[in-house]
Every structure is written in C-alpha cells, then in structure tokens.
Amino acid sequence: MSRILTTAWALATVVACSLVPVVACATESTDSQARTRQQEAALRLLRGAVEMHFHVDPPTQISPGGNLDNLRTARSLGVRAVVLKSHGESSAGVASLLGKDMPDMRIIGGIVLNREVGGINAVAAERLANMKGRPGRVVWLPTKDSVATLKRNPSKPVVPLSKDGQLLPEVKQLIALIGKHDLVLATGHSAAEDALLVFKEGRAQGLKRMIATHPMDNVGKMTMEQMQQAVKLGAVLELDFRHMVEEGGIDVIKTVGAEHCFISEFWTYGLPLESESPYLPIEYGGLERVGRFIEQMHANGITDQQLDTMIKINPARLLGLDAG
C-alpha cells in the first residue's frame, strides 16, 4: 500500500512540475493581454486630449531628453493641445516658439501672477493678450505667493486678493481685462473664499472661461458645497489626475457632473518641491499610467464618455478651440 502511495505521489509531483511552465505562460499571457487593453484604452483617450497643466519651471528648462521629448511623445500619441505653466514667468514666448516646431499640436502659454511678475499685474496680463498669434491664453492668480500658500509663513510677502471680504480694486480691474480679451481665469492657489469672490465678480463682468484650480488640494481646498457654488457661478473644476480616488475626485464628478469638470496633469512633467528648489523631472502620466487610470475610473463607475468630456471637450472649450 505504501509503495502505491509513494508511486502516486511521485507521479503527481511530476505532473505538477510539468504544469508550472504552462501556468506561468498563462499568467504572462493574461498580464500581456491586460497591458494591451490598457494601452489601447490610453491611446483612445489621448487622441484629441488637452493637457491644461504642463509644468515648465522655468520655461527655459524645456530641452531634449526631458520635457521636450515628453511633449513630442504627446504629439505622436495624438494629444491635441498642451498648456505650459510656469510659477515664475510668462510661458507664452516659449509656447510660441514650440508651436512653430510642432504645428500639429497646439502649445499654449499663460502667466501666473506671483511676485516675480508684479503680483496682480493687469499690464502683464494685457501684454499676454496682445502677443502676436495669441500664444498665451491662461491667467492664473497667485500660487506660491498666495495668502493660502503662505499662511503658515507670515514672514514672507504675499499677493493678496481681498480685504475684509471684498476683492481689491486691482483684482476687479484684472478681471475686467481678462473679460475684455476673452482669456481664461484660473484661481491658482487661492483660498476657497477668495476664489468664490473672484467667480462672483467674473460672472458679474461676463467672463466665460473660469477655472477652480485643484479645489481638492490642501492649499485652497474647497468643500463640496463650495465647489457646487463655484459651478453655479460659471467655473469649471480642475481635478488632479494624480490623486483622483484618494482626494475624492470620483465623488466630485458624481455630485457636480462631468460636464462641470476637467482632468489635468495626466501628461505634465516636473514636480515642484519648494518655490526656491530645483524641479524634479518626474513624468506624472505617460501611456502606461493613463491606461491604469482609465481602468481605475471604470472600476469606480466613470464612463469613457465622461472621461472624454473631462479630458477632451471641456478643456478645449475653455481654450476656445473648435470642436475636434
């Protein structure tokens, strides 16, 4: 009897060992099929996509082997437009030059109204609006120099937007200028209360293109009620590709609707650490991560149609691009 059991065990061991390569091969095949599906989904979504938040700090850091290659890869995958953002200077000049090198992808610049450009500086914004070919379209309110950013560091000078619950006159003047030239107004790292004051004034002055920048970030964080107020005032919520699930982006989409949101930073390059520090060349998105992101969105009930709305249609509308 023991001899029979021993023989049976040996036979089972041989069979099991012979199956290991088959199982491993099947696992590899399944993984490969999953990667292929993710890549196909990413390619579909990226065709016609608009990246509204591509970091270039400073704009002169754009170079081969870094974010210039990243931009060219985006173009090869069918990305329609990219907005360059620098926290320290206008990115419109660089956008104009790159646009000549890559005419089949719109490259758009803007200006962030931090202290380096004079803070709330209507003259700088008007200069942006009047550049030949209009390569600059976006005006961001202060980011690293905002009251919300520096509230824990009172020794540093800030660029305020309001006083005693009222917008400063220069902010109202800026909003009027943005409306006159039909530019895009984004809140940068403004406190939620200031952002809502800006949207109220923007609506009163007839602005058509307003963005609540990353309303779920710690700086300038909005409650769901405040986000709903922003939407009622005509703003579009900018959701961060990198932190959609953990920061509650799914709930925001389901509550306010994909038609009032767009997703950015899926193809940006360079992660700021501190305002005075160098920028690390970190790719936020890329084809593989976009594919995993789509899978994650589907698992949470977000459809391809909603993704198209937030990554293609809404940002294109904000920039005044024709339907594509």
Enter the DSSP assignment of 240: E
Supply the pLDDT for residue 323. Answer: 66
Q: How many helices (H) and strands (E) does the chain have?
A: 11, 12
C-alpha distances in angstroms, 80 versus 47, 76, 268, 309? Answer: 7, 10, 14, 14
CATH architecture group of domain 50-318: Alpha-Beta Barrel (3.20)
> Could you tell me if 245 and 251 are in contact, meaning their C-beta atoms sit under 8 angstroms apart?
no
Supply the pLDDT for residue 65. Answer: 62
**Amino acid identity, residue 44?**
R
How many Cβ atoms from other residues are within 10 Å of residue 28's Cβ?
A: 10
- pTM for the model stands at 0.86
Nearest-angstrom CA–CA distance, 82 and 61: 16
Residues contacting residue 316 through CB under 8 Å, at least 6 positions apart:
50, 80, 81, 323, 324
Residues contacting residue 187 through CB under 8 Å, at least 6 positions apart:
140, 141, 194, 195, 198, 211, 212, 213, 220
Nearest-angstrom CA–CA distance, 283 and 322: 29
**Burial class of residue 305 in the structure, from the number of CB atoms within 10 Å of its CB (0-12 exposed, 13-18 middle, 19+ buried):** exposed
Pull the structure tokens for residue 101.
């090198």
**Strand 136-140 to strand 184-186: parallel, antiparallel, or no bridges (unpaired)?**
parallel
pLDDT averaged over consecutive 10-residue blocks of the chain (324 residues)? 43 45 59 85 97 83 73 94 94 94 96 97 96 96 95 88 98 98 97 98 98 92 97 97 88 98 84 41 70 95 98 98 76
Supply the pLDDT for residue 33. Answer: 83
Enter the DSSP assignment of 89: S
Residue that has been written with the tokens 């009622």 in this structure: 232
Supply the pLDDT for residue 4. Answer: 41
Supply the pLDDT for residue 26. Answer: 56
